[in-house]
Amino acid sequence: MNVNELQDYYFIYFADMKAIILETPKKAARIKFYLPPGAMAWRKAVKKINSAWWHPDQKLWSVMNTVENVHRLQEIFGDDYDIREIERSTKIPHVDLGDSGLNAVAALERKLILKAYSLHTVKNYRHSFIDFLKFYKDEDVSTLTKADIEKYLYDRIKNHKISTSKQNIIINAIKFYYEQVLDRPREKYQITRPKTSKSLPNVLSVEEIQLLINSPKNMKHQLILYTIYSAGLRLSEVIDLRIEDIHLDEGYIFIKDAKGKKDRKTVLSNVLVEKITPYLAQYHPAYWLFEGSDGGQYSRSSIQAIFRRAVKSTGVNPWATPHTLRHSFATHLLQNGTNLRYIQSMLGHSSSKTTEIYTHVLNVNNRTILSPLDIIMGEKGK
C-alpha cells in the first residue's frame, strides 16, 4: 500500500478510530503517523512532543525517530493504533555503458564545462544522463523520440518514486544533450514536466536563529553559520567566499559568479566584522575565507554536518537546512521594513516575483498588522 492509497483507505474507514503509524526503518529520521478526525486529545498530546510536525500535503504528523518518542506515542495511543507498511521504491539496476554511451557522456560533460556550468550542475546532469543511457543501453540515443524520453521518465516516477526535483534535473540534462550537444531544435523536446510545488519557504524565528548560530563552540563553525544568515548566502556561495571578498572598509560582501553566473554585493554585518577579525588572526586562511584542513575550500558536507549538529543540540525545527538561514534572512529583513528591491538585489534574484514569496511567510498577528476593526473603533484591543 503506497502513501496515497493509505490516505484514501484511512479517510474512508474510521470504524475503530485508530491511529495509523507508518512502518519506520531503524535509520529513518522521522516516525510518521495519521490521527483520526476528531481525536483532539491525541492531537493535543502529540503537539507537546518537541519535534512534532504536521505535514499538510500528506495529511499526517511526524516526530523524531527516537526510543523516547516511540514510548510516548505508545502511551498516547495505548492499544488504539495499527502499524502499516508503505510501498517502497525498487532499486535501479546497475548497467554498464558501452563505448557509444561513454562517448555521449563525455560530449555532454565537455559542452557543460565549455558553457561554464557549475561543477555541481555538471555532476547532477552527468549522473542523470548516464541513468537515461543505461535505460536505453541497446538503442542509438540520437534516434530516440519524445515518446521514448517520456517512457523513461514514467518508469522512474512509477517504479522508483523519484522526486519532482529529480524529475526536473533529468529533463534538463536530457534536453541539454539533444539541444546543445546534438544541436536539435528546442521545440522538439518540450517534455511534460511535473507540477511545481507551491510550498512556502521554511523560516526560523529570530529566537531560533539566535540559538542555532550560537550553538557551535568552534569559532570557525560558528562564523560559517553567522555568515550564511547575516548575508543571505547560498551554501555554494559561502564555500566560494575569498578573503578579498570581505570588504571591511566599504561594508559589503562581494559574491562572485553566483547562480546564473552573476556577481553581486550583499550586506556585511557589523557583528560579523567583529567576529571575522579574531577568526583571521587564529586560523590564518590563505585564500578562501573558510578552508579545510588541507587548505582547500571547505566542503558542503562539512557545513551540512555543522548545521545538523546545531539543529539537534538546540531543538529548533528539525526540517531546517542551511538554506533555511537564507530564507530567514530575507523574511526578517522584510519584517524590519527593508525595501523588497534591496532584498532582491542582496539575494541575487533576477525577478522580483522570486523575492515576493517571502511576503507570504511574514508573521501575521496583532503586533505586525492592525485589523481594520481596530482602525474603525479608533483603538487597538477593544
Query: Which pLDDT tens digit goes with each residue over 275-331?
Result: 999 999 999 999 999 998 877 889 888 999 999 999 989 988 888 889 999 999 988
Report the pLDDT value the prediction gives residue 13, as an integer from 0 to 100: 45
Catalytic residue chosen out of the listed positions 175, 259, 275, 308: 259
Is it the case that residue 245 has pLDDT exceeding 90?
Answer: yes
Is it the case that residue 15 has pLDDT exceeding 50?
Answer: no
Report the pLDDT value the prediction gives residue 380, as an integer from 0 to 100: 46
Residues 94, 132: Cα–Cα separation, whole Å: 12
Active-site annotation holds for 326:
yes
The CATH 1.10.150.130 portion of the chain extends over 99-189
Q: How far is CA 306 from CA 6, 219, 258, 312, 329, in A?
A: 36, 12, 23, 10, 19
Active-site annotation holds for 323:
yes
Q: Confidence band (pLDDT; 50, 70, 90) for 196?
A: low
Q: Confidence band (pLDDT; 50, 70, 90) for 11?
A: very low
Residues 272, 377: Cα–Cα separation, whole Å: 45
Most confident of 115-119, 150-154, 190-194, 242-246: 242-246
Topology (CATH level 3) of domain 99-189: DNA polymerase; domain 1 (1.10.150)
Q: How far is CA 94 from CA 151, 299, 333, 353, in A?
A: 19, 28, 48, 42
Most confident of 161-170, 194-203, 261-270: 261-270
Q: Which of 1, 2, 36, 46 is nearest to 16 (CA)?
A: 36
Catalytic residue chosen out of the listed positions 84, 256, 308, 323: 323
Contact 181, 103 (CB under 8 A): no
Topology (CATH level 3) of domain 206-360: hpI Integrase; Chain A (1.10.443)
Catalytic residue chosen out of the listed positions 234, 264, 327, 332: 234
β-bridge mates for residue 247, sequence order: 252
Is it the case that residue 14 has pLDDT exceeding 70?
Answer: no
Catalytic residue chosen out of the listed positions 18, 32, 326, 332: 326
Output the nine-digit C-alpha cell for 200: 512556502
Active-site annotation holds for 259:
yes
Catalytic residue chosen out of the listed positions 34, 81, 298, 358: 358
The CATH 1.10.443.10 portion of the chain extends over 206-360
